[in-house]
Structure 1
Amino acid sequence: MSALLAASCLLGSLLQGLSPSTAEDVVATVLLDAGAEPRRALRLVHRPGWAQRARLSVASEVDTVSGAGPEGELRTEYGPEVVVPLRLSLPVTGAVDDSARYRLGPGRLVPPDPWAIPGEARYRLRVGRPEVRAVDEDGMEAALALAEALGALSGRDGEAVLSGTGALVEAWLDLRGGVSSQLVSQVRAALSSHWLATPPFPEEPVGPGARWTVARAHEPGSLSVITYELLELRGFRGRVRFEFQARTPGGSREPVAEGELRFDLRRPLPERLEVVFTSRTPRGRGGSVVRRTRVTLEAGGLQPLSRRVRVAVPP
Structure 2
Amino acid sequence: MSLRPRLRALCVPLAAVALHLFGCQPTDGKSDAKPAAKTEAAAPKTDAPPAPVAAAPDVKPATPAAAPNAAATVGQGSVVTLIEAGAEPREPLRLKLTAGQEQAMVMTMRMGMGMQIGPNAMPKTDIPPMQMTMNLKVSEITGEGDIRSEFSLDKIEVLPDPKVPAAMVDQLKSVLGTMNKMSGTSLITPRGIVKSADFNMPPDVNPQIKQTIDSMRQQINQMSVPFPEEALGIGAKWTVTQQLDQQGMKLDQVATWELKGRDGSVVQLASTIVQTAAPQKISAPGMPEGASVSLDRLDSTGAGTNEVDLTRVAPIKGDMNMKSSIAMTTDANGVKMPMTMDMDLNLQISGK
Under a length normalisation based on structure 1, what TM-score does the superposition of the two structures give? Answer: 0.70
Specify which of 175, 191, 196 is matched with residue 201 of structure 2: 175
- State the identity %: 19
Work out whether 1:257 is the aligned partner of 2:257: no
Inter-CA distance 222–187: structure 2 relative to 1 (3 Å threshold): closer
Inter-CA distance 48–221: structure 2 relative to 1 (3 Å threshold): closer
Q: What is the match of residue 272 of structure 1?
A: 317
Q: What is the match of residue 252 of structure 2?
A: 223
In the alignment, structure 1 segments of 5+ residues that lack a partner are: 1-7, 17-22, 66-72, 100-118, 301-315
Q: What is the match of residue 131 of structure 2?
A: 83
Which structure: greater strand fraction? 2
In the alignment, structure 2 segments of 5+ residues that lack a partner are: 1-10, 20-73, 280-295, 329-339
Q: What is the match of residue 12 of structure 1?
A: 15
Inter-CA distance 184–260: structure 2 relative to 1 (3 Å threshold): same
Structure 1 stretches of at least 4 aligned residues deviating more than 6 Å after TM superposition: 13-16, 194-197
Work out whether 1:60 is the aligned partner of 2:111: yes
Q: What RMSD over aligned residues (CA atoms) do the two structures have, in Å? A: 3.4
Deviation at 1:13, TM superposition (A): 7.8
Specify which of 259, 280, 292 is matched with residue 344 of structure 2: 292
Q: What is the match of residue 313 of structure 1?
A: none
Contact 1:15 1:190 in 2 (8 A): no
Contact 1:95 1:120 in 2 (8 A): yes
Specify which of 114, 118, 133 is matched with residue 159 of structure 2: 133
Contact 1:9 1:60 in 2 (8 A): no
Contact 2:75 2:194 in 1 (8 A): no
Work out whether 1:154 is the aligned partner of 2:143: no
Count residues in correspondence: 255
Contact 2:178 2:202 in 1 (8 A): no
Inter-CA distance 77–181: structure 2 relative to 1 (3 Å threshold): closer
Deviation at 1:224, TM superposition (A): 1.2
Greater relative contact order structure (CA < 8 Å, 6+ sep): 1
Inter-CA distance 299–193: structure 2 relative to 1 (3 Å threshold): same
Partner AA of 2:318 in structure 1 = L
SS in 1 for 2:212: helix
Deviation at 1:218, TM superposition (A): 3.8
Deviation at 1:196, TM superposition (A): 8.1
Return the alpha-carbon distance in structure 2 between the equivalents of residues 272 and 190 of structure 1.
26
Contact 2:278 2:297 in 1 (8 A): yes
Partner AA of 2:109 in structure 1 = V
